[in-house]
Amino acid sequence: MPQESVELAGRQVHRVGYGAMQLAPHGRPAPSPADAVALLRAVSDLGIDHIDTAAFYGNGSVNRAIAAAFPASAHSPLIATKVGAREVGGKLVTKQKPAELREDVLTNLRGLGRENVDLIYLRRADIAPGIIATGDQVVPIEDQLAELMALRDEGLIGAIGLSNVTVEQLQVALPVGIDAVQNFYNFLDRDTEPVLDLARQQGIAWIPYFPLGSGFPGRPRVTDVPSVIATAADLGATPSQVGLAWLLAHYDHTLLIPGSSDLEHIRQNLAAADLELNPDRITT
């Protein structure tokens, strides 16, 4: 297990964490509740101490598995979750109003079996990929941040993060105290590079989601890129490991949350933190 760590929400965590979305059905069978709990405990045994989730993953089933695997204690992994969307009738819809964000925080706490959660991401819905807010769901970010600050002051959340945001939105949010930004970003899609640049300037943790680029229909996969495949062959690694290692090398406060329901695949993801890329490959 790589020993390098980065501060997140007041704790030191390893740079490769675990994204729990794969424990929910998304057009594929999901692990049984018992298997999900067992996998989460095995993930922790590997040394992973940062788990990313959301109440809308599996309509709450993923949070319930985390609660069963890690009863609230000082020894549980850092738990990060998201608000701003919810599953309704099998579809993901925006829930951007401040009162809805508070409700979603409480829903996450109930599902996770906790009195507070380490890190909450505000999942904005202004830019692709994913759902876009319309009508009365178009809410100023200032109003949302005010509600999250109140929740932080009440001790219900430990730290505030942002997800799917523009550089302008991050600039507006900086006075609030932002611990992390979670945007779509990978070797093939760097549209949010300006957001990363600002995060780097401010020393804010950067958590790229769908780090291998295949999370949305029609998106190319990093693992299919010839240069990635060739680099993997040269290093005796997998293309996935090269794609993850590139992200880690791109900024020293990058944290990864790749997901899988296969323990061997999770081990391979962890090993990406030990993969050294030549400088010319990092700057490609």
d(CA 128, CA 181): 16
Q: What is the torsional sign of CA 9, 15, 21, 23? A: negative
Give the 3-state secondary structure of residue 183: coil
Which uninterrupted H or E stretch holds 104? helix 98-112
What phi and psi values does residue 177 have, to the nearest 5 degrees?
95, 90
Give strand pairing partners of 164: none
Q: Which two tokens stand for residue 173?
A: 């949010």
CB of 150 within 8 A of CB of 109?
no
CB of 41 within 8 A of CB of 69?
yes
Q: Which two tokens stand for residue 17?
A: 């964490």
Per the annotation, the verdict on 185 as an active-site residue is: no
Give CA torsion, residues 268, 269, 271, 277, to 10 deg: 120
Task: Give Cα separations from 27 to 22, 30, 86, 90, 215 (angstroms).
Answer: 11, 9, 18, 12, 12
How wide is the angle at C-alpha 11 spanned by C-alphas 172 and 152, nearest 5°? 45
Count the neighbouring beta carbons within 10 Å of the beta carbon of residue 175: 8
CB of 269 within 8 A of CB of 242?
no
Q: Which residue of the set 18, 57, 121, 209 is catalytic?
A: 57
CB of 182 within 8 A of CB of 122?
no
Catalytic center residues: 57
